[in-house]
Structure 1
Amino acid sequence: MKNTIYNWSLSLVILLFFGSCEKVIPIKLDNSDKQIVIEGEITIKKEPYFVRISSTKNFDENNDFPGRTDALVIITDLSTGKAEKLVHTGSGVYQTSTLQGVAGHTYQLDVTVDGKNYKAQSTIPMKVVKIDKLSIRSFELDTDKKFIVPEFTDPKGEVNFYRLRQWINGVLVKGSWARNDEAADGRVFDTPFYYDTSDEAGNPLIKDGDEVTVELQCVDKGVYDYFRTLSETIEQEAAAPANPLSNISGGALGYFNACRTFKVTSTIKL
């Protein structure tokens, strides 16, 4: 889905809500703090699915986090009993070959590395929620910074959880955005997609002619809780903020996300 977004200005009062952005957080890790990091996703699209496995490092080591190449990774469709061993393709990335995600099915991820086993379960929601339109907003006192507003309608009478991602000219914007419908059942969501525009964050600014892609994911509660608490962790000012709530057992960091997705791409017209 592709269209064109036109600019309009937002009142200064919205500054009160500016806060869903990414910050650099200094977390001190000693030798005992080294942990496995697992990031996996499965959808209903007919394409390979990927799981990335890496390890945290000591505080005094560099920030290069090479992937783990020695893991055993299996995804099982608990609704059918079918299981598949994933193949390592390089840099700690493991790929499926025949597995097909199905709406309503629950999937289990099993990872074995360094003699330890990590498990996670996630269920693909039955419905996909589509983005109705995209618009763009800016602050009256800082019109150089533009923010996308994805608008979508929550299905009434259902419990729904959402995750959003955004790309500008193919570059993924850093940050964590999660929503639920606890106080907005059946209502229209139109929250601006704020993100950190500082030089330290390295996120691109939105300019005229840019191509912007927004992805809306329908996720289960475990995945929502991970990205919700990740956002809260990013916003903490503490020297050692708490880890996000992972849906992976065994002590690993990260998440396993079985989800429905909808993407829309638009060209910016200012």
Structure 2
Amino acid sequence: MKQYIRISILFLTIALASCTDVIDVDVQNAPARLVIEASLDWEKGTVGNNQTIKLSTSTPYFDTTTNSIVTGASVKVTHDADGAEFIFADQNNGNYTNDTFVPILDDSYTLEVIYNGDIYSATEKLMSVTDITDIVQSKDKGFDEEAIEISTIFTDPEEEENYYFFKFQRQGDLLPYLEVGDDEFVNGNEIDWWYEIEEDEYENIEPLAPGDVVAINFYGISDAYYNYMSILIEQTESDGPFSSTPVALKGNCINLTTPDNYANGYFRLSQVIRTSYTVQ
């Protein structure tokens, strides 16, 4: 009887295995869109005249195509106060560059991209950033009492609303860690912005350790860009059954010719402080 049961189970297993079919699922693909990476950053202590704008096209999620660069577009940025134009030259690799850009804090600039007969436009103000007064490390501010965290300290200007964008990246890590913040509840105060890496054995992520070098980029940003990045960061970090459903995130680049064919990406102008810290 036991032998009969074993034989029956064997045949059932073979039968089930033989019934395995490959199912082709039709995945809905969105139309390819122009992607505009127009972050004009003026690093404190530099002239800020060398700037690059990157153009590419979006690709389907499962597409293995890596060459989505856009060439042959017309790209310029206009200083709205006096009409001065800065032409960005096509480098034939998706990059468009200009070495005569003149950054003026709190002034408005307009981006124009002409591609495939469509005119894309965006307007933004060049935002300032306050100075970093100190960078220290400790173990008493983060989520893990045993982990090292780095605190970037600065004083928020009292006379204005301010929005901040931080980019932290440990040397050797593939991707940076992004955060945005505002001064709604801390206006005019000293701010201690800490950064910690939590250990994750599954993802093979180690916390900060002595000798690690962390690059720190500190940007002043507009209210609109703060809202845009808040949604983007939330969507990229969300997981689990109760996370929000990702939605198409539109930037500020409008298609003046065919409004429905909007571009992805954002036109941002920021003053930035770039520095680094070596963990002790």
TM over 0.5: yes
CA deviation string 1:127-149 (max 9, x = no partner): 43011222234568674x54322
Aligned residues: 240
Which amino acid in the other structure matches residue 254 of structure 2?
Answer: S
Trace 1:23-34 onto structure 2 (pairs within 5 A): 30-34=28-32
Q: Whose RCO is larger (CA < 8 A, sep 6+)? A: 1
Residue in 2 aligned with 1:259?
270
**Is the CA contact (8 Å cut-off) linking 1:76 and 1:84 kept in structure 2?**
yes
Aligned to 1:243: 248
Determine the structure 2 residue equivalent to 1:153. 155
Q: Distance in 1 between matches of 2:166 and 2:95?
A: 23
Partner Cα distance (2:85, 2:207) in 1 = 43
Sort the Cα spacing of 1:123 and 1:266 in 2 relative to 1 into closer, same or farther, 3 A: same
Per-residue deviation at 1:118? 1.5
Letter of the 2:51 partner, please give it: Y
Distance 1:37 1:198 in 2: 33
Q: Counterpart of 2:170?
A: 168
Q: Give percent identity, aligned residues only.
A: 21
Task: For residues 75-124 of structure 1, give each alpha carbon's deviation from its aligned partner in whole angstroms, at most 9, with x where no partner exists.
Answer: 11111201122112243111112111111221111112222222111111
Structure 1: distance between partners of 2:219 and 2:113 = 24
Instruction: State the partner residue of 1:42.
Output: 40
Question: Using the alignment, how far apart are the partners of 1:204 and 1:49 within structure 2?
Answer: 35
RMSD of the TM alignment (CA)?
2.9
Matched position secondary structure for 2:63: coil
CA distance in 2: counterparts of 1:154 and 1:101, whole angstroms: 22
Contact 1:153 1:186 in 2 (8 A): yes
How far off is 1:217 after superposition? Answer: 0.7
Secondary structure of 1:67 counterpart: coil
| 1:101/1:29 CA distance change after superposition, 3 Å | farther
What's the secondary structure of 1:234's corresponding residue? helix
> Is residue 86 from structure 1 mapped to residue 91 from structure 2 by the alignment?
no
Which residue is equivalent to 2:135? 134
Distance 1:156 1:131 in 2: 16
Determine the C-alpha separation between the residues in 2 that align with 1:235 and 1:119: 29
Give unmatched runs, 5+ long, in structure 1.
1-27
Moved more, 128-137 or 189-198: 189-198
TM-score, scaled to structure 1: 0.76
Inter-partner Cα distance in structure 1 for 2:93 and 2:205: 24
List runs of 5+ in structure 2 lacking aligned partners. Answer: 1-25, 256-261
Q: Is the 8 A contact 1:29 1:58 kept in 2?
A: no
Match of 1:20 in 2: none
Taking the aligned partners of 2:176 and 2:67, their CA distance within structure 1 comes to 17
Q: Distance in 1 between matches of 2:193 and 2:65?
A: 33
CA distance 1:234–1:31, change in 2 (3 Å)? closer
Relative distance call for 1:89 and 1:79 in structure 2 (3 A) is same
What is the letter of the counterpart of residue 86 of structure 1?
F
Residues 192-203 of structure 1 mapped to structure 2, 5 A cutoff: 192-194=194-196
Greater Cα radius of gyration, structure 1 or 2:
2
- 1:229 positional shift: 1.5
Answer whether contact 2:168 2:216 (CA < 8 A) is retained: yes
**Cα pair distance change 1:204/1:252, threshold 3 Å:** farther
Q: How does 1:58-137 map to 2 (within 5 A)?
A: 58-62=60-64, 64=66, 66-125=68-127, 127-137=128-138
Deviation at 1:74, TM superposition (A): 0.9
Task: State whether residues 170 and 176 of structure 2, in contact with CA within 8 Å, keep that contact through their aligned partners in structure 1.
Answer: no
CA distance in 2, matches of 1:244, 1:252: 10
Q: Secondary structure at the match of 2:168?
A: strand
Deviation string 1:24-60 (CA, Å, 9 cap, x unpaired) is xxxx974433222111122444241111111111233
CA apart distance, 1:191 = 3.2
- Tell me how far apart the structure 1 counterparts of residues 201 and 59 of structure 2 sit (CA, whole Å): 25
Whether the 8 Å CA contact 1:106–1:123 is kept in 2: the answer is: yes
